[in-house]
Structure 1
Amino acid sequence: MNIIYKFLVRLRAYKKEDIDIVLEYINDPEVKKYLVPGIPFPFRKEDEEKWYQNLDPFSTKSYSFDIETLEGKEYIGGCGINDVDWKNSVAVVGIFLGKPHWNKGYGTDAMKVLVRFIFEEMNINKIKLYVYSFNKRAIKSYEKVGFKKEGVLREEIFRNGKYHDVYVMGILKKEWQSKI
C-alpha cells in the first residue's frame, strides 16, 4: 500500500524533494518545542538527508510517512510508527504538522488514517504515544481519535524555564473498532 487515503489528507512515502520544507517546518521554534525532549537545536539539511537515506521500507521497527493534503497534494507534516513491539502487539506513534497547517483538522485526520493503518494492516492490538502536558491542542486531537490518558511521567521535560509532565496515551484495537 503506497498511499493511504482518508478525508483531508493522505499518508505517503517521503520524497527527497520534501527535505527543504520538512526542515522549514521542524526548525520552526513553535513546532520544535512540541517535538524533541532534548535541547531544541536546529536540524541541518545534512541531518535530514542522512535520516532520509536511512529510511527502510522493509523495517520491522519503524515506518515514516509524509502527510499530504488530498486537495492540492501539499506536504504539511509527517507521522510515523516509531517503534513496534511485535511480541506484545504494541506500536508507538508520533506526528507533527507545519505551523501553517495547525487548527484545520489535518492532524486529527492524519492520526485517524495512521491508527486505521496500524490496526487493519499491521494487526497491532495497542497504539500509544507520548505528549507534553502543555500541548493542549494535540491532547484534544488525540482524544478525538480515541486515545485515553494512561499515565503521567511527572516533570519529565524542561521547557521554557520550568518542568512539565509527559502524558502517555493509548488506544486499544477493540476501543477503536467500537468507534467505527
Structure 2
Amino acid sequence: MYQGQLVRLREYRKEDIEKAKEFLNDFEVRKNLQIGVPYPYTLEDEEKWYSNVSAVKDTYTFALETLEGLYIGGCGINQIDWKNRKAVIGIFIGDKEYWSKGYGSDAINTLVKFIFEEINVNKIALCVYSFNERAIKCYEKCGFTREGVLREELFRQGKYHDEILMSLLKREYYK
C-alpha cells in the first residue's frame, strides 16, 4: 500500500495473526508497548483484535513488511482528534533481526508521510518509555521533538520509569 525505502505498510491479514501473537508475547517487544501488566496474549486475543481492525474507524492499523514481503511488525494511528487535527501513533518491530537497521525509522517516515499527506492532521504525537533508548533515537531521527515527561508513570521490572511525550508538527515536517 504505502512504501518506504525498506518497508511497506499494508493491511493486516489472517496469516499475520499467529506471528503477531508470537511477537507480542516476546517480553523484549511487549515491555515497550503498553503501560499495563505485560501478560501473554492468547491466539483468541489476537483474533479478536484482528476482527476489530477496520478501515472505517478513526484508527488506521498497518502491518509492516519488508520489501521482500516478510511480516515484521505493525504501526498505525491509535487515535485521531479531528477538531484539533492531532494523531497519536504507535509502532513495533517484532522481528528482532530487523532492530537497529533502519526499518523502524523508515516505517515511521512512511507513516508520517501518509498522515500528513492523506489524513491532513497538524500534529503527530507519541509516547515512549524512558528505557527504550533505541526508539527515542529513532523518533528524534525522524524529526520528533520531546514535549514533556510524565515522571515515574510506568512500573516495570521492579522499578518506576518515565514516559516521554514527543511530537512532530506539519510545518516542521515540510521544512
Bin of the TM-score, shorter chain as denominator length: over 0.9
Query: What code does the residue aligned with 1:44 have?
Result: T
Q: Report how many aligned residue pairs link the two structures.
A: 174
- Aligned residue for 2:21? 23
SS for the counterpart of 2:135 is helix
- Aligned residue for 1:119? 116
- Aligned residue for 1:108? 105
Residue 131 of structure 1 pairs with residue 122 of structure 2: no
Q: Distance in 1 between matches of 2:98 and 2:156?
A: 23
Query: What code does the residue aligned with 1:86 have?
Result: W
- Aligned residue for 1:175? 172
Q: How much does 1:115 deviate?
A: 0.3
- Aligned residue for 1:87? 83
Q: Distance in 2 between matches of 1:41 and 1:108?
A: 28
Alignment of 1:1-180 (within 5 A): 3-59=1-57, 61-70=58-67, 72-98=68-94, 99-178=96-175
Q: How much does 1:101 deviate?
A: 1.7
The runs of at least 4 aligned residues of structure 1 exceeding 6 Å deviation read: none
Q: Distance in 2 between matches of 1:145 and 1:37?
A: 24
**TM-score, normalised via structure 2 length:** 0.98
Q: CA RMSD in A?
A: 0.6
Q: Distance in 2 between matches of 1:101 and 1:119?
A: 26
Question: What do the CA deviations read for 1:96-141 (whole angstroms, capped 9, x no partner)?
Answer: 0012321111000000000000000011000000000000000000
Q: Distance in 2 between matches of 1:121 and 1:36?
A: 27
Identity %: 59
Query: What code does the residue aligned with 2:83 have?
Result: K
Contiguous gaps of at least 5 residues in structure 2: none
Q: How much does 1:69 deviate?
A: 0.4
Query: What code does the residue aligned with 2:86 have?
Result: V
**TM-score, normalised via structure 1 length:** 0.95
Contiguous gaps of at least 5 residues in structure 1: none
Question: What do the CA deviations read for 1:10-57 (whole angstroms, capped 9, x no partner)?
Answer: 100000100011111111011011011110000000010011011111
